[in-house]
Structure 1
């Protein structure tokens, strides 16, 4: 049922791909952006930050128009070229921890998103959807794929494996010491085989990129309404995705840090915790939980283990059983007074690729009063949330792989 099709990617030339590829704009500090743009005229950052040329911050519609101009300049200077025939793109990342991610970059259907064939597990913010939709409508391209996952499939896996025996079109290593590979898959017989395998799948799941998916869907509706000869085959009916099997997906936890105890003393806070948790003081030794419904806590120079008293908690659905939700419903909201996880400035998050030393150092510095460590959510939990039309609390998952912008570009 899932419609996954090849497309004609706009891509950097092989000699420049390592210079063009960039992380998401927001992940750089201002100093990092200035450095990279100052020394690398080919960085994709020059496209998404067009005001750099004028030493000025530019926002809104003016920025969108300049982004399009910079992109067209990269094409005019043949930094970017477009493939002549529709293709799939086999993409592999080997990260510095030894993790390997292999999948296919392709175009996926906005109609499938509307029909819930492509399922989500996170809420999106309408304002952000609209802003990014307007951005896409002006610039006319998408340079960062949505990350989708699908059930492991032997046929697709064998094709990917065979393709990877050939020389890669791209092979480059980032300053993060992650190595990226890309192979172009243009064989019509293999394309048909892959598309047919995806058509047999009832569901694809968004792992990362909920706002990009939603904005692409809104864009498709806009452009359909403006096109009197709409057929359904136009590029705007699709958005670029990186599809990987579930076994390749790596989900890290997001730990929580809170700036104060909501007016409670340490002793009063622990007494309230005791109503819902069995508490053990672990002293100064780092304690990391290793089971569902178990948490670590760092407070006043000491680690604690928190074991949920299940007799006092009701597991009524997939969301109620989720550790991030349990922490919210039993501690963050009722005891610490944090009801708005997105906007309350008293709470912050540290993803699990940072170890518990990060939590300890931030609490010891006085920046935060208490920190909580969780175990990662797994793929089955993520799917159960999506299948039941539920949504996780914000910052429930930190998902790998993370792709670079500008390696493949989808025009509509």
Structure 2
């Protein structure tokens, strides 16, 4: 089987994209989704967050939620709001957020390649979140949330994308957050073959975001494979919905930390403790770190610039990450927070919220200190994946986010 292949996408009917396109399911809570879908009966949130159509307080993982999602999905199909293309296609998907532009390829990626490690992952997954995606995919018979993949850019693909996106797009929508989503269907057989062959020649792809969706797709494929005595490997369930972007266009923002207390220390004692691993300078403005190994700290109404001491930087690709340097030299030894995935004394703030959000959380009294980090680079992410290692939790924040509802993959 090829690494990727075209597929007959399920898309909003002409003129319906504005009605359908919605934020990804995992960036909104139930109340936010209910508000965003109010007055929008065809919003994809009715499929991706179907608890919004059930009584308040409904457990979002209850069986009736998945049943409601299926009902809403089938209604959109029956009403012609969502329509499947007649033939397999690739799709080019451009996101524009402010000055940032990135254009990726929507494709069906091989589950076998994912299982074999040719599509590399870099995060652990949580069983409960995996189970949720398995139930959602199984219930709908479709993958509606794309996995965000990346690759080391390729001039053949670059040139082809430039040529194909010179045509009029099939869909062009600006979402309510100001991000523009543009889609071109690629049905030319020669162009599709070039895309398939060029990607198949690549050594590997990388999961940037969507580890639970890709893991769930693998589980669903295994389940259907076992239940299908006529299994050939060519069935749609052997592939998963993905959008694949070149590394040079990806935008990773900082993923910052806030903590509820100073581990029982006074501010003075806390500063003395962290001085073992960091140099500390007063700052007159909010600190956005300029390079790896540099951190901002907001404490007691003041900003400080921290720099990790050189001898504290290890050689291994995980240990060298800024999130690891902060965790291993301050958060765990000084604050005694050894499991940031579960410890309630630490929280994480995506860089899209800005440094003002860090000040707000501390000034409110809800948090004792905040730390701003330099963004993890894509090269660092790839190095961790290539080493078959796992990144710490909350290491990357990708922007802009992919929309739900633009293209789905029926399995």
| Range of TM-score over shorter length | over 0.9
In 2, Cα distance between equivalents of 1:51 and 1:308? 46
Deviation, structure 1 residue 63: 1.8
TM-score (norm 2): 0.96
1:399 aligns with 2:401: no
1:340 aligns with 2:342: no
1:236 corresponding residue in structure 2 = 237
1:411 aligns with 2:410: yes
In 1, Cα distance between equivalents of 2:131 and 2:52? 25
| 1:156/1:144 CA distance change after superposition, 3 Å | same
Alignment of 1:116-265 (within 5 A): 116-265=117-266
In 1, Cα distance between equivalents of 2:162 and 2:215? 32
Over aligned residue pairs, what C-alpha RMSD do you find? 1.6
2:69 corresponding residue in structure 1 = 67
1:85 corresponding residue in structure 2 = 87
1:300 corresponding residue in structure 2 = 300
In 2, Cα distance between equivalents of 1:48 and 1:256? 29
In 1, Cα distance between equivalents of 2:77 and 2:196? 30
2:15 corresponding residue in structure 1 = 15
Conservation of the 8 A alpha-carbon contact between 2:24 and 2:401: no
1:102 corresponding residue in structure 2 = 103
TM-score (norm 1): 0.96
In 1, Cα distance between equivalents of 2:135 and 2:234? 21
Q: Structure 1 unaligned runs (5+)?
A: none
Deviation, structure 1 residue 403: 1.0
Residues paired across the two proteins, number: 409
SS in 2 for 1:327: helix
1:351 aligns with 2:338: no
Q: Structure 2 unaligned runs (5+)?
A: none
SS in 2 for 1:307: strand
In 1, Cα distance between equivalents of 2:394 and 2:206? 17
Deviation, structure 1 residue 248: 0.9
Deviation, structure 1 residue 381: 0.4
Conservation of the 8 A alpha-carbon contact between 1:2 and 1:202: no
Conservation of the 8 A alpha-carbon contact between 1:2 and 1:200: no
| 1:327/1:52 CA distance change after superposition, 3 Å | closer
Conservation of the 8 A alpha-carbon contact between 1:249 and 1:401: no
1:274 corresponding residue in structure 2 = 275
Deviation, structure 1 residue 368: 0.7
In 2, Cα distance between equivalents of 1:37 and 1:114? 36
Deviation, structure 1 residue 53: 4.3
In 1, Cα distance between equivalents of 2:127 and 2:31? 31
SS in 2 for 1:343: coil
Alignment of 1:295-334 (within 5 A): 295-311=295-311, 313-334=312-333
Conservation of the 8 A alpha-carbon contact between 2:179 and 2:400: no
Deviation, structure 1 residue 29: 5.1
1:290 corresponding residue in structure 2 = 290
Between 1:314-323 and 1:22-31, the stretch displaced more is: 22-31
Q: C-alpha offsets along residues 334-376 of structure 1, whole Å, 9 cap, x if unaligned?
A: 1101111111111111112222222112211211111111111
SS in 2 for 1:39: coil
| 1:314/1:49 CA distance change after superposition, 3 Å | closer
In 1, Cα distance between equivalents of 2:333 and 2:246? 39
In 1, Cα distance between equivalents of 2:42 and 2:135? 26
Deviation, structure 1 residue 233: 0.3
Deviation, structure 1 residue 394: 0.8
| 1:53/1:331 CA distance change after superposition, 3 Å | closer
Q: C-alpha offsets along residues 78-122 of structure 1, whole Å, 9 cap, x if unaligned?
A: 001110000000111111x21101011010001001110000111
Conservation of the 8 A alpha-carbon contact between 2:33 and 2:52: no
Conservation of the 8 A alpha-carbon contact between 2:280 and 2:307: yes
Deviation, structure 1 residue 47: 2.2
Q: C-alpha offsets along residues 166-221 of structure 1, whole Å, 9 cap, x if unaligned?
A: 11100111111111111110011111111000011011001110110111011111
| 1:409/1:165 CA distance change after superposition, 3 Å | same
Conservation of the 8 A alpha-carbon contact between 2:153 and 2:247: yes
Between 1:46-55 and 1:259-268, the stretch displaced more is: 46-55
Deviation, structure 1 residue 3: 0.9
